[in-house]
Structure 1
Amino acid sequence: MTASGSRIPTPEVYAGLDIGGTTTQVVLCAADLTVVDSVEVPTPAAEGGRAMVRAALAALDLLRERVPSRLLGVGVGAAGVVDSRAGRILVASDSFRSWAGFPVTATVEDALGVPAFLDNDVNAFLRGEVAKGAVAGEPAALGMTLGTGVGGALWLDGALFEGAHGAAGEIGHLPGFGDLPCTCGGRGHLETLASGRSLAARYGERTGRSLTARGIAEVAVDGDLDALAVYEAAGAGVARAILITAGLVDLTTCVIGGGVSRAWDLLEPSIAAALAAEPPVSGQPIRVVRARLGSRAVAIGAASRARTELGAVTRVYGGGVGNCR
């Protein structure tokens, strides 16, 4: 109550869950997607899908105890191939137990009594960066994540473009980047040049040394020519994939995130040089930026998905959803 006796409205919030292989990020966002509170907890990936969702919901309970609010909806970003319409995981890596086939949104909705929505983590990453990050407000953008693998997503005409089978934007598995075997079973994919795992493999082939992508970045800064060479090849490969995408869908903005992007000073020069040497057929310069939201990008993007979906429902049907705590 205020001093005049009027009741203070309960704030309305959206939740975003980023269920990763190692950690789970949970955020509560205001209507404008400003993060009100957040928490990170370990993901019990070896214990199965039910345990993973239970851990995420327990973290959300903690936030809701700290921030009394009316929860309108929940978005979930998850690693792997997902069926966003059915709210289910289709394919997951062997890092997860009993995750493939798990009904994520149904489980969350049953627990919370509010609508839930599922995206794969790269789609959610791009939603987050378009909503509140480095490419906020852009009508069209390519999102790339350079981590253990290479992921991609497309934002076209102000909305995520998923394609006929939900696989649009999977830039990491474009062929034509040499003949090295890829983790997916194919050969010569972008991922064989630009993922953290491939950087380590390429450096090991050149030197016989075993270093992580971060370790390679550290010695590159000290002038290690082999380390500089593998990062230069990664940047050139990324630029070529951007140009292919730009030629197909005529976009001029790309945002790059993921652990490998922390070595931005090593990647960006070769990306810029390759783009300058062979500009897109449109003649328009391509802007490439580093992601801004860091480890919260997927969770914020997941909350953004919930806000978008529920905003559409409200506009069509009127009324509201949600519950209070």
Structure 2
Amino acid sequence: MSGATGTQRAAGPRIRPHVGLRAGVDIGATKTLVVLRDDADGLLAEAETATPARRGGDAIMDTAAELVRGVLAEVGANPAALTGVGVGAAGVISAGGMVTAAGDSFSGWVGTKIDLELSRRLDRVPVRSENDVTAFLRAELGELGADRPRHALAVAVGTGVGGALLVDGRLLRGGGAGAGEIGHIGDFGDEPCSCGRRGHLEAYAGGRALTRRYAAATSRQWSAERVASSALGGDPVAMAVFERAGRCLGMAIGQATGLLGIDLAILGGGVVRSWQLLERPLLEALRQHPLVSGRSVAIRLSELGERAVALGAVALVSPAPD
């Protein structure tokens, strides 16, 4: 990317400009990631930088557009070579590509017309957006191919906690979008949630919650990654923070899957990289909340890692998106 605000990684050799390029954008509360693919679905380049989440929608859109231009420059192309840009964005995203709700990690994000504003910044290339966890689920389902299930719950645990649903083979969006927002269910205690209420899953399992709860107990302002490292080193306070997070995740997944009869949950996000800290309490909580059928809920970790949302967003502008 031009300038020094982010990092750019080439995923393959430089190529000549050609048509059929598609970009996928992942706009999260912490980082924005862009991938560039071609007609053969080859990953050509990618770039990421910090999301200016506190500077409003215009700054976020400027950052995304700059990253897209950067990956195009990496392969010797310009926006005219793009056939489309897909966006997976944090928040509740309307069918028309507008942010209708967002957590308090963002300022000035609600009301942003993603499709319109990003297209305007990229020479009117078609843009299509959806919630980031729905894009994550779309990508993970594509990775499963012929083994794609008909029912699944996706849970992404990063700065916050988000969810998405596949029911009867279709991605479920619900009335006014927002279906699957598992981060804002539950009554697990009195911790404040980013939505302004208390006790929700996100208040215990999201990255911000982990750092806040550890700081409250120790006065150490550590990142979630550092808290995880300390837990792995035997820090009892850090271990307790992750124990509670895993238990709350398991309880919330059990409640959500039980309501819809779903027996598969796909987990991703930065906090899930600390799976060895979350696995035991999460699975124990799930065993305590079995499905009515008696089947256990299978847990599958993301196959695509940090690229999942951006790759799912690319599918939105593929020739035959589902």
Bigger Cα Rg? 1
Pairwise mapping of residues 149-228 of structure 1 onto structure 2 (< 5 A)? 149-228=160-239
Cα distance in 2 between the residues matched to 1:108 and 1:149: 24
How far off its partner does 1:182 sit? 2.2
Return 276-285 or 167-176, whichever deviates more.
276-285
Aligned-residue sequence identity (percent) comes to 41
How far off its partner does 1:128 sit? 2.0
Q: What's 1:311 paired with? A: 320
Residue 296, structure 1, aligned to residue 304, structure 2: no
Q: What's 1:39 paired with? A: 47
How far off its partner does 1:42 sit? 4.3
Q: What's 1:27 paired with? A: 35
Q: What's 2:250 paired with? A: 239
Return 151-160 or 29-38, whichever deviates more.
29-38
Q: Could you tell me which of 71, 82, 90 is aligned with 1:79?
A: 90
Name the CA shift for 1:55/1:305 in 2 (closer, same or farther; >3 Å): same
How far off its partner does 1:237 sit? 1.0
Q: Could you tell me which of 14, 18, 21 is aligned with 2:22?
A: 14
Alpha-carbon displacement from aligned partner over 1:5-30 (angstroms, at most 9, x marks no partner): xxx99563321112334432111224
Give 1:100's aligned amino acid: V
Cα distance in 2 between the residues matched to 1:284 and 1:31: 41
Give the match's secondary structure for 2:155.
Answer: strand
Residue 57, structure 1, aligned to residue 65, structure 2: yes
How far off its partner does 1:210 sit? 4.2
Name the CA shift for 1:286/1:33 in 2 (closer, same or farther; >3 Å): farther
Residue 108, structure 1, aligned to residue 146, structure 2: no
Name the CA shift for 1:107/1:133 in 2 (closer, same or farther; >3 Å): farther
Residue 125, structure 1, aligned to residue 136, structure 2: yes
Cα distance in 1 between the residues matched to 2:55 and 2:199: 34
- Contact persistence 1:134–1:290 (CA under 8 A): no
TM-score (norm 1): 0.81
How far off its partner does 1:214 sit? 2.1
Q: What's 1:271 paired with? A: 282
What do you get for the CA RMSD once the two structures are aligned? 3.0
Return 164-173 or 205-214, whichever deviates more.
205-214
Give 2:23's aligned amino acid: A
Give 2:47's aligned amino acid: V
- Contact persistence 1:33–1:303 (CA under 8 A): no
- Contact persistence 2:99–2:111 (CA under 8 A): yes
Name the CA shift for 1:275/1:100 in 2 (closer, same or farther; >3 Å): closer
Name the CA shift for 1:194/1:133 in 2 (closer, same or farther; >3 Å): farther
Alpha-carbon displacement from aligned partner over 1:249-296 (angstroms, at most 9, x marks no partner): 111111222221121110011112222344211222211122232221
TM-score (norm 2): 0.82
- Contact persistence 1:175–1:187 (CA under 8 A): no
Give the match's secondary structure for 1:53.
Answer: helix
Cα distance in 1 between the residues matched to 2:236 and 2:17: 60
Q: What runs of 5+ residues in structure 2 fail to find an aligned partner?
A: 1-15
Residue 258, structure 1, aligned to residue 269, structure 2: yes
Cα distance in 2 between the residues matched to 1:44 and 1:206: 29
Name the CA shift for 1:240/1:54 in 2 (closer, same or farther; >3 Å): same
Name the CA shift for 1:202/1:45 in 2 (closer, same or farther; >3 Å): closer
Return the structure number with greater relative CO, CA threshold 8 A, min gap 6.
1
How far off its partner does 1:303 sit? 0.8
How far off its partner does 1:91 sit? 3.3
Cα distance in 2 between the residues matched to 1:157 and 1:150: 24
Alpha-carbon displacement from aligned partner over 1:94-120 (angstroms, at most 9, x marks no partner): 655543322221233343444321112
Alpha-carbon displacement from aligned partner over 1:38-80 (angstroms, at most 9, x marks no partner): 1224444455433432332333233334165953322112222
Name the CA shift for 1:22/1:236 in 2 (closer, same or farther; >3 Å): closer
Give the match's secondary structure for 2:192.
Answer: coil
